[in-house]
Amino acid sequence: MVKQGLGRTMFLLIGLVLIFAILRCQIWENPADRLNRIMAQKRAQYTIDIHAKELDEFLKLLPEYKKFGFDKDFYVPYLDVLPSGALDWKKRIWFLYHHWDANRFYYVQQRLIYLLQALEIRRDAQAIIDLVLSKEEIDDVAEQMIELQKQRIKAAEMSFSELILISAREKELKKLLK
């Protein structure tokens, strides 16, 4: 009788294992697989422009990044390799923990610095145009100045959505990125 009960229990366990194997029911998820899936989804959404959701996530992480001193002695524009290749183990773990691609994090940081500078250039150029146009008499030199300032505005490339996004949060960005 004991053998018969043990046989049924074994048969039941083997049956459950087979059912789980057939249906591929996953009782436990590998954290590395989950991280790879999250990062693949994020990488698929990357564009040249920075979007509001990405900016919000970046601005939440930047104070912590600075608090740990990760911004010290790590200047991205002077690197010969991608930033992810120059990170030490502490930074790598920090980026993995926060589900951020290190290369994208530094891209967003550098792009925001560029956009803030481009915004200043656009404002300065527009102020010069307004000043020249406010004069009663516009000569050839004034027209050349206006044309030069229009070229400066065009050279400061940014999309309209980025212009609005950066303009709305300019003070906060300047404070965090200084």
Token pair for residue 142? Answer: 């004034």
- Which pTM does this prediction carry? 0.75
Q: Convert the pLDDT of each residue in 57-76 to its tens digit.
A: 999 999 999 998 888 877 77
Write down the mean pLDDT value for the chain. 86
Average pLDDT rounded to a whole number, residues 110-114: 92
pLDDT at position 94: 92
Average pLDDT rounded to a whole number, residues 164-177: 92
Whether the per-residue pLDDT at 49 is higher than 70: the answer is: yes
Q: Convert the pLDDT of each residue in 119-152 to its tens digit.
A: 999 999 999 999 988 887 888 888 899 899 889 8
Whether the per-residue pLDDT at 28 is higher than 80: the answer is: no
122, HSE (Cβ side, Cα atoms, 13 Å): 17
pLDDT at position 7: 80
Q: Distance between CA atoms of 82 and 105, rounded to whole angstroms? A: 12
